[in-house]
């Protein structure tokens, strides 16, 4: 399950892990004008872990999801 919310400065997508076994904490992805953050609560350390991706890194990630194993470079027109 997931939700999408539009805030004044970004879009927030929350991914909820549904299932019978070993559920993970929700993942929150926030898209801003210049970056994307991915956050997940870590109950072992009682804090939120955050990574920040540039928009270029996010485009690379989106492209990588449908590629076979290998090393790639996106062309500037993609």
pLDDT string in tens for the chain (78-residue length): 889 999 889 999 999 998 878 799 999 999 999 999 999 999 999 999 999 999 999 999 988 888 888 888 877 665
Provide the pLDDT for residue 69. Answer: 86
Q: Would 56 be classed as within a structural domain?
A: yes
Q: Would 59 be classed as within a structural domain?
A: yes
Q: Would 78 be classed as within a structural domain?
A: no
Provide the pLDDT for residue 8. Answer: 87
Provide the pLDDT for residue 78. Answer: 54
Number of structural domains in the chain: 1
Q: Would 70 be classed as within a structural domain?
A: no
Q: Would 73 be classed as within a structural domain?
A: no
Q: Would 69 be classed as within a structural domain?
A: no
Q: CA quadruple 35, 47, 6, 78: dihedral positive or negative?
A: positive
Provide the pLDDT for residue 48. Answer: 98
Is 58 buried (19+), middle (13-18) or exposed (0-12) by CB count in 10 A?
middle
Domain ranges, residue 6: 2-64
pTM of the model: 0.81
Q: Would 74 be classed as within a structural domain?
A: no
Q: Would 30 be classed as within a structural domain?
A: yes
Provide the pLDDT for residue 38. Answer: 97
Report the C-alpha dihedral over residues 69, 74, 77, 78, rounded to 10 degrees.
40
């Amino acid at each position: 399950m997931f939700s999408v919310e539009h805030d004044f400065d970004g879009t927030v997508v929350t991914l909820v892990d549904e299932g019978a076994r070993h559920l993970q904490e929700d993942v929150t992805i926030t898209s801003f004008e210049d970056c994307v953050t991915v956050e997940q609560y870590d109950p072992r350390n009682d804090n939120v872990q955050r990574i920040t991706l540039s928009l270029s890194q996010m485009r690379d990630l989106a492209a990588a999801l449908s590629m076979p194993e290998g090393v790639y470079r996106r062309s500037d027109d993609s």
